[in-house]
Structure 1
């Protein structure tokens, strides 16, 4: 951390802003992910999603942590209570510090997952992770949500409802689009975490995200951490792109 602080002082962003950005290692093979994370200067957090985890297995979490990185394990657990509890227990034992579960699994499953995550971390001497409940994926648009899933609630109603269900079950935060952050932050003050994908710096392609916002705007709205992938991972100069995103949080 001391080396990180020295490096950040020499650049245009702070260690605090680096802690706010989680870089998604989506679309990378294991060797690519490890090489990338090792070469981005000032990087603190990485996201391991389903594709990378299925290919690399649990070892990738340990390897990233050996690089001094903090890991957001984004596997979006959604199952019966006992299965969700077992998965969260093992994920916490790996040292993942943020772990996603689906809010629509229901209160019993969420409570079981939270209890098991604490047990898993304590059994291996890890930090107790924060579970993040997924409300509505940022790829969903309201009309398609209603048409394909027959959900009559609009996104503006469904997201806060699922967030409240999660908070009542003891979950420490939510994943939501940046467009829902302001309303959720008014409903759930810190330390309830709001982690937002769908972040696109000015000029970056939107890709498959339907509800997006810039880094500075999302933080001003009340986000705790931002998940940014392709604008950094596919940049010609990934360290420069990461530094630009971090610097934007200081404006």
Structure 2
């Protein structure tokens, strides 16, 4: 897997389509749709994006009691999304409920179940802020690795974490378990609100299976060229 997900961090579907329409019809990148856009535009926007040929990564970071998450995932899977996120901090039972819900929802409409990705620690967290906020003494690597093992045990397809933890995640989980990494910037770009950032090429060297890129592409003068540059760096390493 060498997937590059473009984070559609736009206020509404008009802005999102203005961006996506810059891509030629034979270039359909994978896109990440987060809470801001989904909560405004709803399922119909997801259906339109899918109909246009884009791979959809729905980033809702679900976190609730197992039954609620299972039912939520079942409904979301009916949208034929490709990837969906939930918080590993919800525990194994919650994650197992999500796996069951994904299968049930997808089967109901005859589509493939989405790959479920567990959020470990947000890339906006430094180790010190994680420890202070969560009242833990574990290092960032220890916490992320532990949560990745739980996700693997529960049957998730992979995790979302910084590229700094990708190697440890692969060492601690089964073959084929994915490490998808946000916090990606092209060299020279501002880090913004991320604490642990790397370039696409460095993420590849650090064993990331896929990367999420926002501002380095969406705020570029030529987004298509920026996307192609990110793809090249990530697939070839740097």
TM band (smaller chain)? over 0.9
Alignment of 1:55-134 (within 5 A): 55-134=40-119
Q: Give the TM-score of the pair, scaled to structure 1.
A: 0.89
Q: 2:11 aligned to 23, 28, 43, which one?
A: 28
Q: Give the TM-score of the pair, scaled to structure 2.
A: 0.94
Alignment of 1:228-247 (within 5 A): 228-247=213-232
The question of whether the paired residues in 2 share the 8 Å contact of 1:65 and 1:71 is answered with yes
Q: Deviations over 1:63-92 (max 9, x none)?
A: 111110010000000000111001111111
Question: What is the alpha-carbon distance in structure 1 between the residues aligned to residue 144 and residue 164 of structure 2?
Answer: 11
Question: What is the alpha-carbon distance in structure 1 between the residues aligned to residue 170 and residue 189 of structure 2?
Answer: 26
Q: 1:169 aligned to 128, 134, 154, which one?
A: 154
Question: What is the alpha-carbon distance in structure 1 between the residues aligned to residue 214 and residue 28 of structure 2?
Answer: 13
161-170 or 122-131, larger mean C-alpha shift: 122-131
The question of whether the paired residues in 2 share the 8 Å contact of 1:34 and 1:64 is answered with no
The question of whether the paired residues in 2 share the 8 Å contact of 1:176 and 1:194 is answered with yes
Question: What is the alpha-carbon distance in structure 1 between the residues aligned to residue 84 and residue 173 of structure 2?
Answer: 19
User: SS of the counterpart of 1:51?
Assistant: helix
Question: What is the alpha-carbon distance in structure 2 between the residues aligned to residue 180 and residue 87 of structure 1?
Answer: 29
Question: What is the alpha-carbon distance in structure 1 between the residues aligned to residue 37 and residue 81 of structure 2?
Answer: 14
| Structure 1 segments unaligned to the other structure (5+ residues) | 1-15
User: SS of the counterpart of 2:226?
Assistant: helix
The question of whether the paired residues in 1 share the 8 Å contact of 2:203 and 2:234 is answered with no
Question: What is the alpha-carbon distance in structure 2 between the residues aligned to residue 140 and residue 202 of structure 1?
Answer: 21
The question of whether the paired residues in 1 share the 8 Å contact of 2:167 and 2:207 is answered with yes
TM superposition shift of 1:190: 3.8
TM superposition shift of 1:250: 4.0
The question of whether the paired residues in 2 share the 8 Å contact of 1:156 and 1:180 is answered with yes
**Alignment coverage as a number of residue pairs:** 234
Q: Deviations over 1:117-170 (max 9, x none)?
A: 011111111222110000000001111122222122121110000000111011
Alignment of 1:148-167 (within 5 A): 148-167=133-152
TM superposition shift of 1:189: 4.9
Alignment CA distance shift 1:239-1:106 (3 Å): same
Question: What is the alpha-carbon distance in structure 1 between the residues aligned to residue 209 and residue 39 of structure 2?
Answer: 28
1:210 corresponds to which residue? 195
Alignment CA distance shift 1:36-1:190 (3 Å): farther
Cα root mean square deviation, aligned: 1.4
148-157 or 75-84, larger mean C-alpha shift: 148-157
